[in-house]
Structure 1
Amino acid sequence: MKNKTLATWLAFLGGPLGLHRFYLHGPGDLLAWMLPMPTALGLYGIERVQQWGQDDHLSWLLIPMLGFTIAGCALRAILYGLMTPERWNARYNPQADPEAPPGRTHWFTVVGIGLSLMIGTAVLMASLAFSFQRYFEYQIEEARKISQ
């Protein structure tokens, strides 16, 4: 029996590592194995910024990958948490009664949804702001080179 609350929290806390996918789909899930890749690349981008500074162009590409992965997993946690018990049990517990307890929403599920919404939104907005800031700074730098 797959528990909706546990899946919500796994997607929120361990989503960038694919833990929710392993829980729901098993070790044969390809996406679960691929999710740690953009997470690791984003962490590598943060390491590059610490080592080379903010002018490192590769880090401009890598850091948002981490942010978008975290935001996407937070969205998945919200979707899991808001799923009706009937739909949850039909999809992840097909042998169970449509009203079985693992598909019910509890207060801990609601807390997971709320935290996923707050933190996922903050990470998404920060990733977008970082990406656009670096892009426009690069454009201004290139325009200065052309004008001289």
Structure 2
Amino acid sequence: MTTATILQQSHKNKAFTTLLAFLLGMLGAHRFYLHGSKDRWGWLHLAALPASLLLRQLFPEADWFYQILPLTLSALGGFLEALVLGLMPDDKWDARYNAASRRLSDTGWPLAVVLVATLMLGAGVLIATMARLFDLLYTGGAYG
């Protein structure tokens, strides 16, 4: 049995994937859990951290918002993916990610709690990001 065969047969938990996307979505942990180390979108999420560090080193005089913007956008993408994955019906989830598994997904209340937290925090981060971006672009940062 090869490693790829073992990965295909392992059962992917929807609640755990959603939690990974919520907590570590900015680093692509949920993508690596679902698709393995060859996932390009996962590596793009992970590249946001060194990109932010590089921006901080190259442009130390720039506003901190611009320096962490790649990481912020990656986090917003992780929140969106958490909502998309968590709201996917169990039968569609099993058809897409657990086709080789003999177990069926049965998600319950823990997933609902993660989805509510994702929506609250994701909406807050999105609103704060938009507010700060408009402040910087239109007033030059006059409000903070």
Question: Where on the TM-score scale, by shorter chain, does this alignment land: which range?
Answer: 0.7 to 0.9
RMSD: 2.7
- In the superposition, the TM-score normalised over structure 2's length comes to 0.78
Point out the structure with max Rg over C-alpha.
1
Q: 1:23 offset after TM fit, Å?
A: 0.4
CA contact (8 A) 2:22 2:78 kept: yes
Q: By how many angstroms is 1:129 displaced?
A: 1.0
Q: Which residue identity is paired with 1:87?
A: K
Larger helix proportion, structure 1 or 2?
1
| Residue in 2 that maps onto 1:106 | 108
For 2:88 and 2:141, how far apart are their aligned partners in 1? 43
* 1:7 equivalent in structure 2: 17
Q: Structure 1 vs Structure 2: percent identity of aligned residues?
A: 34
Indicate the residue corresponding to 2:69 in structure 1.
64
Contact 2:22 2:118 in 1 (8 A): yes
CA–CA separation in structure 1 for the residues paired with 2:141 and 2:93: 47
- The answer for the alignment partner of 2:7 in structure 1 is none
Stretches of 4+ moved more than 3 A in 1? 39-49, 59-62
2:91 paired residue among 86, 98, 101: 86
Aligned residue pairs, count? 132
1:101-140 paired onto structure 2 within 5 Å: 101=104, 103-138=105-140
Q: Deviations 1:17-49 (Å, cap 9, x if unpaired)?
A: 111011000111122122122234346667899
Task: Structure 2 unaligned segments of length 5 or more: list them.
Answer: 1-10
Structure 1 length as normaliser, TM-score? 0.76
Q: Unpaired segments of 5 or more residues in structure 1?
A: 141-148
Segment of structure 1 superposing worse, 31-40 or 72-81: 31-40
